[in-house]
Structure 1
Amino acid sequence: MIAFVVGCWISLPAQAAVREYWVAAEKTTWNYVPSGQNMIKPDAGLGVWGKTPAYTKYRYIGYTDGSYTQPLAQPEWMGILGPELRAVVGDTIKVHFLNKTDRPLSMHPHGMFYDKDNEGADGAGAGASVPAGKSYTYTWVADEAAGPGPMDPSSIVWLYHSHVMEEEEANLGLIGTIIVTRQGMARSASDPAPRDVDQEFTALFMIFNEEGGEESGLKHTINGRIFGNLEGYKTSLGKRVRWHVVALGNETDNHTVHWHGQTVLDHGRRTDVVEVLPASMTSVDMVPRSPGHWLLHCHVDDHMMAGMSTRWHVMP
């Protein structure tokens, strides 16, 4: 099938779908430590990082339709992340974006096919800067170059984030992910998730700078939580689990992501530590082999000390 998409003609599979999402940017309060406790080492406390647990943030919130009245439910483990956008290779993603905040914002996708109006960045094009109170519909295509490569698993992860003042807006909390599944590997026409895995988790490793570089404001987070306050990573023995691991931030956001109790297959390489840098994206597979409540953390010493840890749970 030949289709005219975002300004030019491209070839799409005959079964390609248009997948619509409604996303608003909203000003909220975010608590990095909702329990008020160090859930990894209770006796150690929270140190300086627990001095101020909550800050004003900006987030992407998903809605069920264009009325923007019913928020989409998200798994607890997603934390601060915006709604997960999904597609199969060949699909078109339409994101109806409503800026409900007090500043111009955008949505810029990594990996997708788009024209200048749908880039959501670079100060050019209709979608580069959506004013406060206004809306814009982005059209992105998950073409072959946006999908899994020959050595990739059946689904891969891409970031999206605001890109009007890009050096500020990820730190504000305007971050989400896009999952693209290889053609022919979706569970069904209505469910673009890959059929060869049972569960998919996403983990964003990022240091949020809340106080101009003061140590107490450097929140070393996994999905916006510190010291084990991210809940919800739960699976069972023998499940086929895919982890989408991403990072954003500054030069200090060099992370070594380590799972206790299990190894992962990283594009053919067996390991239990995956390296990510700012704006890195990778997808790895595991089949849990040992029940328990296992640590998931960055193995950089300073990052561990500052709370970049949580637990993932494997049930018998």
Structure 2
Amino acid sequence: MVSSVLQWSIFMSIFSSICCLRRDYFITAEEHWWDYAPSKQNLITNDRTISDRLIQTTEYRIGSVYKKVKLKQFTDGSFRREIKPAPWMGYVGPTIKGETGDVLYVHFRNLASRPYGLHPHGVQYFKDSEGSLYMDGTSGRDKLDDTVPPGYTYTYRWSMLNTFAPTKDDENCVPVGYHPHVRSTKDIDTGVVGILLICKPGTLNPDNSRKDVDREFVLYADTVNETNSWLIDQSLNLCLNPQRCRQLFNQKNEAFITDTLMYSINGYIYGNLPDFPVYEGEKVAFYAMGLNLGLHVFGVQGQSFTFKRKRTHAVVFGIAWFQGLYMTTRNPGRWMIFCKVNYHFNRELYYRLSGMNTHCYSYCYNN
């Protein structure tokens, strides 16, 4: 503990000479029921051969509803007033933002039923803010960050140093991810994920929006294995015959496990994700993230985008992959965002970008 405090004091004495801003985030982890397909339909195609096995609840299938843990953001340390996310965010946690030189104070309160922590990619931290459980030879305060027990609150300090900042050849903001690292694959499959944005100085407005783009969206694409979730036992109770489903789960029945693999974006399947609303001519930033499983090839019908400052119509991403994609929207209409891997397309991975001209339709934020 003394070592960590001394390290931080020395670091801050050097860091204080650099222009920086303290940014506070108040985040909880809470359990809730999540529906991957609220409409109970395949909204893209008429072929229900596969989709019904993942959406409909039967005696031997769970369906589209699972118990998950979601990260929520609040205005202050009272954790009373939630900052409501946009509908398209799904179960993805709050987007944490900062500029080079800033220090992030992430106040994390665990309201779930088991221990979780928060581990960031792409920022500087000392051992007491790593948020990762492993045999690292530390003790005392340097271990408190690893797992936050239910009902407790812990504050992580993450610094955005030049060594992690966007270079002159990068876009103004670079996305990375954050998630627990108790048993990371299970934590992620349980739903505890979010995007962290590292921006060049002067990029963010006082309200944390970007000055250089009109819209910002998060695309978290993953193959979520619900049988790997910490909360699978509660989800099994939703089967019409829970005993039968539990038997299939314990036997590691291949067909049963396959039908709990959710090829999803932001926690939605088969076109159930609320539209990404944009206006024609707007500059749009997509923060794309993949974490646990699967290789995806994504494109947007009727549009093109830039990736690493090169024009393209598709981009490949997979495990522990974080990138920014940019487009200036053209051709007003509803366009499909989808994975070009045929198996994934047939399973669940396609959604809509709503291109608007001069007015909003029924799928805008405020309706």
Which one of 91, 97, 106 corresponds to residue 80 of structure 1? 91
Identity between Structure 1 and Structure 2 (%): 30
What amino acid does structure 1 have at the position aligned with 2:329?
Answer: P
**1:56 and 2:67 aligned:** yes
- Alignment CA distance shift 1:208-1:12 (3 Å): same
How far is the alpha carbon of 1:68 from its aligned partner? 1.6
Deviations 1:143-198 (A, max 9, x none): 222321222111111100011111210000000011122113233xx234331111
Following the alignment from structure 1 to structure 2, what is the Cα–Cα distance between the partners of residues 290 and 6?
52
What amino acid does structure 1 have at the position aligned with 2:52?
Answer: G
SS, match of residue 235 in structure 1: strand
Q: 1:200 corresponds to which residue?
A: 216
Deviations 1:256-277 (A, max 9, x none): 1111111111112211111111
Deviations 1:223-255 (A, max 9, x none): 0000111113010111011111100112xx111
How far is the alpha carbon of 1:289 from its aligned partner? 1.6
Greater helix fraction, Structure 1 or Structure 2: 2
Following the alignment from structure 2 to structure 1, what is the Cα–Cα distance between the partners of residues 312 and 79?
43
**1:16 and 2:34 aligned:** no
How far is the alpha carbon of 1:12 from its aligned partner? 5.5
Which one of 117, 126, 138 corresponds to residue 156 of structure 2? 138
Q: State how 1:126-205 maps to structure 2 within 5 Å.
A: 126-187=144-205, 190-205=206-221
After the TM superposition, which of the residue ranges 58-67 and 236-245 deviates more from structure 2?
Answer: 58-67
After the TM superposition, which of the residue ranges 13-22 and 49-58 deviates more from structure 2?
Answer: 13-22
**1:91 and 2:91 aligned:** no
CA contact (8 A) 2:129 2:156 kept: yes
Following the alignment from structure 1 to structure 2, what is the Cα–Cα distance between the partners of residues 219 and 13?
48
CA contact (8 A) 2:332 2:355 kept: yes
CA contact (8 A) 2:282 2:329 kept: yes
SS, match of residue 117 in structure 1: helix
Which has the larger Rg?
2
Following the alignment from structure 2 to structure 1, what is the Cα–Cα distance between the partners of residues 46 and 16?
54
What amino acid does structure 2 have at the position aligned with 1:201?
Answer: F
CA contact (8 A) 1:255 1:298 kept: yes
Following the alignment from structure 1 to structure 2, what is the Cα–Cα distance between the partners of residues 13 and 74?
35
How far is the alpha carbon of 1:88 from its aligned partner? 1.2
Q: 2:42 corresponds to which residue?
A: 38
- Alignment CA distance shift 1:133-1:287 (3 Å): same
After the TM superposition, which of the residue ranges 204-213 and 115-124 deviates more from structure 2?
Answer: 204-213
How far is the alpha carbon of 1:8 from its aligned partner? 3.8
Which one of 38, 42, 47 corresponds to residue 52 of structure 2? 47
CA contact (8 A) 2:110 2:116 kept: yes
Greater strand fraction, Structure 1 or Structure 2: 1
Deviations 1:86-108 (A, max 9, x none): 11111111111111112111000
Structure 1 residue runs without a partner (length 5+): none
Following the alignment from structure 2 to structure 1, what is the Cα–Cα distance between the partners of residues 37 and 190?
17
- Alignment CA distance shift 1:5-1:141 (3 Å): farther
CA contact (8 A) 1:25 1:59 kept: yes
Following the alignment from structure 1 to structure 2, what is the Cα–Cα distance between the partners of residues 30 and 149?
39
SS, match of residue 88 in structure 2: helix
Following the alignment from structure 2 to structure 1, what is the Cα–Cα distance between the partners of residues 223 and 98?
29
Following the alignment from structure 1 to structure 2, what is the Cα–Cα distance between the partners of residues 148 and 231?
31
Following the alignment from structure 2 to structure 1, what is the Cα–Cα distance between the partners of residues 10 and 213?
35
